[in-house]
């Protein structure tokens, strides 16, 4: 198939740029580590709030959020690379040379997955050193990382669609801000049941809320909202895949 040589070539070039350029690799690694340190350490007394009953502890509670956050932003950071490729002229040359242009999107998606896998590994090691408790079994652990990986793909597809439409690094805030707001209007610091007022109303209709609830429940070994979370994320993947492919068509038309 013609799609695989294109995808593997794009993925290899993108990953080579990431892992040989500290200015690209370091932000995507430092960002989740900073939030994990700030939230798990600085807000640890939140675990004493009446009604906070997450058995693995507050460090584990925040690890789940930072894992999902790192996945989403790992996809967005790869979207920055797509915009950078358009500004440098490489992406336009690639569009002209690629026999199957859908492979371009697939290649960027593969690079986003590998890039996030590296970040998730470092984050997990740091969390284990900091006192991460895992009460779920191997199937639960696999499920929570798989769910986070699907969020990573969603982030990439969203950012890819934006980057291919605007084809400039100035599109960075448009890629990042909706993802940032969606994440932080979820139950970040306390469980959903402890939220009140307008933030509770927003969190209740926020799909990322149920992703976090599912990831946290799997870590605790007490699954909740898992099927719903996977269904929501897979639905978002379908929508964002269409968004990114339409963006690719617009980039092709723009030359």
Instruction: Give the long-range contacts of residues 184-189, CB within 8 A, separation 24 or more.
Output: 186/65, 186/211, 186/212, 187/212, 187/213, 188/39, 188/65, 189/39, 189/43, 189/46
pLDDT of residue 255: 64
Distances in whole angstroms, Cα of residue 212 to Cα of each of 100, 124, 170, 173: 36, 16, 30, 24
pLDDT of residue 70: 96
pLDDT of residue 254: 80
pLDDT tens per residue, the chain (255 residues)?
578 888 888 999 999 999 999 888 888 899 899 989 888 877 778 878 888 889 999 999 999 999 999 999 999 999 999 999 989 888 888 888 777 788 889 999 999 999 999 999 999 999 999 989 999 999 999 999 999 999 999 999 999 999 999 999 999 999 999 999 999 999 998 999 899 899 999 999 999 999 999 999 999 999 999 999 999 999 999 999 999 999 999 988 886
- Record the tokens describing residue 74, joined without a space: 């790992």
pLDDT of residue 1: 54
- Say what the pTM is: 0.94
Q: Domain residue spans in the chain?
A: 3-254
Closest of 129, 112, 148, 99 to residue 18, by C-alpha: 112
């Amino acid at each position: 198939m013609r799609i695989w040589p294109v995808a593997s070539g794009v993925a290899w070039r993108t990953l080579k740029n990431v892992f040989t350029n500290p200015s690209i690799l370091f932000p995507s690694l430092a960002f989740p580590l900073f939030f994990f340190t700030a939230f798990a350490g600085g807000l640890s007394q939140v675990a004493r709030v009446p009604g906070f009953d997450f058995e693995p502890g507050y460090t584990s509670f925040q690890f789940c959020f930072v894992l999902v956050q790192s996945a989403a932003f790992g996809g967005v950071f790869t979207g920055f690379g797509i915009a950078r490729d358009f500004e440098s002229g490489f992406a336009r040359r690639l569009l002209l040379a690629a026999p199957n242009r859908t492979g371009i999107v697939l290649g960027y998606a593969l690079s986003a997955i590998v890039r996030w896998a590296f970040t998730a590994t470092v984050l997990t090691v740091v969390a284990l050193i900091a006192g991460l408790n895992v009460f779920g079994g191997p199937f639960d652990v696999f499920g929570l990382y798989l769910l986070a990986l699907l969020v990573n793909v969603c982030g990439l597809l969203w950012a890819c669609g934006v980057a291919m439409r605007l084809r400039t690094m100035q599109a960075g805030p448009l890629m990042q801000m909706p993802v940032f707001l969606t994440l932080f209007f979820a139950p970040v610091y306390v469980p959903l049941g402890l939220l009140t007022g307008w933030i509770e109303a927003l969190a209740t209709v926020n799909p990322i809320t149920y992703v976090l609830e599912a990831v946290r429940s799997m870590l605790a070994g007490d699954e909740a909202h898992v099927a719903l979370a996977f269904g929501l994320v897979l639905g978002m993947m379908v929508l964002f895949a269409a968004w990114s492919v339409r963006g690719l068509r617009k980039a092709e038309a723009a030359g």
